Amino acid sequence: MKKTLLSAAIGAAVLGFASAASAATLDTVKSKGFVQCVVNTGLAGFAAPDASGNWSGFDVDYCKAVAAAIFNDATKTKYTPTTSQTRFTALQSGEGDVLFRNTTWTINRDTALGFNFRTVNYYDGQGFMVPKSLNVKSALELSGAAVCVQSGTTTELNLADYFKANKLEYKPVVYEKLPEVNQAYQEGRCDVYTTDQSGLYSLRLSLSNPDEHIILPEIISKEPLGPAVRQGDDQWFDIVSWTHYALVQAEEFGLTKANVDDIRKSSTNPDVRRFLGVEKDTKIGTDLGLTNDWAYNIVKAVGNYGEVFERNIGQNTPLKIQRGLNALWTKGGLQYAPPVR
């Protein structure tokens, strides 16, 4: 829409003029008093505003965790909603401090786009959703189908590669915004909806008849989703990365939002005491540029990784996503935090 052009133009202009972009992000964040996170315009379970404009979701909790680590106050956040097309310009131009927007970590984005990725907060893969009435059992039967996809995503690229590699024909139907893709799929403009599987689960909920659609078994790509920051500010990069690691480590320690206060008082385990900043003469937090109770503040504000997952997208939510690859390494998953010492 016009807005895209405008925001792209403004983004480009800001990119041209911005000179503060390379000042230490932590100092900028502290002086303005909040963390500005670039998020999705609305993807249930990941980042979506409710009727009164309060944001919630998996990505939003990460933003709150960063705010808690810095300010000991998870409410000190602001959100920049972006489409898949505008997200990178928004981060490049300094409209946000960090990108939490179901963004796949690729080498191109890590290098040519000028961003830094280090952590993967959600291991995802691209899938397909079709109406049950089509009687499709496998993605390999999709030759000749019209496929709805959002523009400017790795999804769009994987789709082209997958159909080409399997010598299947398809007709792309491309929209810029998720609601437009949803509506087109629902109205039968296309036969197949493709995006990350987590996204498919989320989107299926928003259809009027979720039970009439199935998600095909094939996962056609690796989609490691994680936060991104601008290159050239290692301290800020560390803070964002270690916020994720702190969430994972907290789950491994069995620290939850509910029990973290008690354990902090009673624990004698030096690992846990160091993590929560109660060990004598610890410098872990201050070395990060934060206070030593940064990890405690994160857990106190949003809980551990498992809690964030279950609260927003887990079995008790409408999305009903299994932990799968996102279980802790101790439970057969890939979520693993380097030692906090």
Partner 1 sequence: MTDHAAIAPSEARTLRSYVYDPKIRAIFFQILTLVIVVAIGWSIFDNTVANLARSGTASGYQFLKGRAGFDIGASLIDYSSDSTYGRAILVGFLNTILVAFFGIITATAIGFIIGIGRLSKNWLIAKLCTVYVEVFRNIPVLLIIFFWYKGVLSSLPQVRDSLKLPLGMVLNNRGLAFPRPVWGDAAWVIPVALLIAIVATFIVARWAKQRQMRTGQQFHTIWAAIGLIVGLPVLAFLAVGAPLTFDFPIAGRFNLSGGSVIAPEFVALYLALSFYTASFIAETIRAGIRAVAKGQSEAAAALGLQPSTTTRLVVVPQAMRVIIPPLTSQYLNLTKNSSLGIAVGFPELVATGGTTMNQTGQAIEVVSIWLVVYLSISITTSLFMNWFNAKMALVER
Closest CA to 294 of 70, 121, 27: 70
> For residues 154 and 297, which CB has a smaller minimum distance to partner 1 in the complex?
154
Near partner 1 by CB under 8 A: residue from 72, 174, 207, 273: 174
Is residue 28 near partner 1 by the rule CB under 8 A?
Answer: no
Near partner 1 by CB under 8 A: residue from 32, 132, 137, 164: 164
Task: For the CB of residue 67, give the shortest distance to partner 1 in the complex, in Å.
Answer: 24
Place of tokens 């956040």: 77
Alpha helices (H) along the chain? 2-17, 25-32, 58-71, 87-92, 107-110, 154-165, 178-186, 197-206, 234-253, 260-266, 270-275, 284-288, 294-302, 305-312
Task: For the CB of residue 59, give the shortest distance to partner 1 in the complex, in Å.
Answer: 19
Is residue 109 near partner 1 by the rule CB under 8 A?
Answer: yes
Q: Site map for partner 1, 176-215, x if CB under 8 A?
A: x---x--xx--xxx-x------------------------
Q: Which stretch binds partner 1 (CB under 8 A): 26-34, 47-55, 137-145, 198-206?
A: 137-145
Token code pair at residue 197: 């599987």
> For residues 69 and 159, which CB has a smaller minimum distance to partner 1 in the complex?
159
Task: For the CB of residue 133, give the shortest distance to partner 1 in the complex, in Å.
Answer: 9
Is residue 152 near partner 1 by the rule CB under 8 A?
Answer: yes
Instruction: Count helices and strands (H / E) in the chain.
Output: 14, 14
The span from the CA of 170 to the CA of 164, in Å, is 9
Residue 267: count other Cβ atoms within 10 Å of its Cβ: 17
Is residue 138 near partner 1 by the rule CB under 8 A?
Answer: no
Tell me, rounded to whole angstroms, the distance of Cα 327 from its chain centroid.
16
Closest CA to 311 of 27, 301, 32: 301
Is residue 144 near partner 1 by the rule CB under 8 A?
Answer: yes
Near partner 1 by CB under 8 A: residue from 134, 205, 219, 278: 134
> For residues 56 and 85, which CB has a smaller minimum distance to partner 1 in the complex?
85
In SS3 terms, 253-314 reads as HCCCCCCHHHHHHHCCCHHHHHHCCCCCCCCHHHHHCCCCCHHHHHHHHHCCHHHHHHHHCC
Closest CA to 201 of 14, 58, 30: 58
Residues that bind partner 1 (CB under 8 A): 1-2, 4-5, 8-9, 11-12, 15-19, 21-22, 84-85, 88-89, 92, 108-109, 112-114, 134, 141-142, 144-146, 151-153, 156-157, 159-161, 164, 170-176, 180, 183-184, 187-189, 191, 230-232
